[in-house]
Amino acid sequence: MQIYVDADACPVKDEIYRVAYRLEVPVIVVSNSHFRVPAHPLVSRVVVSDAFDAADDYIAERVSAGTVVITSDILLADRCIKAGSEVLAPNGKPFTADSIGAAVATRAIMADLRAGMGTENIGGPPPFSKSDRSRFLSSLDQILVRLKRSV
């Protein structure tokens, strides 16, 4: 069991480390740029090139059943679910085989709207909140405990 973190824009890295330490689950932090990660035997950092989707490709090529991926990238989530991985957004909402199709479709519609209207007329996601952080901690803990029990 491992946790892969799509880390460049992840707002919950500290929370991931906290849960991983308690449950003794290795964390692989994948990014396009260097940044500090804790000096801890359970945490490793992988810096990939700045090529388009390099971090996504690195993660998607390595996950399988028993891995957990933390990402807000819907297309990466889709790839990881198809590989058998558990996927969790930083706001604590899981991506599942049942929900990913609608998420991919919504993403495509929003991309078309932004292309036609511009981003200033569409808006973006709501600001990250304390309740998102709390939901994330609870969801990650539940997923990891369930995976540990099934091993």
Q: Model confidence over 88-136: pLDDT tens digits? A: 999 999 998 777 666 656 655 656 666 666 555 556 667 888 999 999 9
The pLDDT value recorded for residue 3 is: 98
Q: What does the block give as tokens for 111?
A: 């991309």
DSSP 64-78: -TTEEEE---HHHHH
DSSP state of 94: E
Q: What does the block give as tokens for 96?
A: 């599942």
Q: State the residue for tokens 């679910």.
A: 81
Mean predicted lDDT score pLDDT of the chain: 88
Q: Looking at per-residue confidence, does 57 or 150 come out higher? A: 57
Q: Could you tell me if 66 and 42 are in contact, meaning their C-beta atoms sit under 8 angstroms apart?
A: no
117-151 burial code (b ≥16 CB/10 A, e <16): eeeeeeeeeeeeeeebbebbbebbeebbeebeeee
pLDDT category of residue 35 using cuts at 50, 70 and 90: confident
CATH assignment of 2-97+129-150, among 1.20.140, 3.40.50, 3.30.40, 1.20.120: 3.40.50
Mean pLDDT across the stretch 72-80? Answer: 91
For residue 145, pLDDT over 60 is answered with: yes
Percent of the chain beyond pLDDT 70? 83
The pLDDT value recorded for residue 111 is: 62
The pLDDT value recorded for residue 61 is: 97
For residue 73, pLDDT over 70 is answered with: yes
Mean pLDDT across the stretch 43-52? Answer: 94
pLDDT category of residue 66 using cuts at 50, 70 and 90: very high
Q: Could you tell me if 77 and 95 are in contact, meaning their C-beta atoms sit under 8 angstroms apart?
A: yes
Q: What does the block give as tokens for 122?
A: 């569409």
Residue 41 — φ and ψ, nearest 5°? -60, -20
Least confident range from 7-11, 46-50, 104-108: namely 104-108
24, exposed or middle or buried, with CB in 10 Å at 0-12, 13-18, 19+? exposed
Q: Looking at per-residue confidence, does 18 or 125 come out higher? A: 18
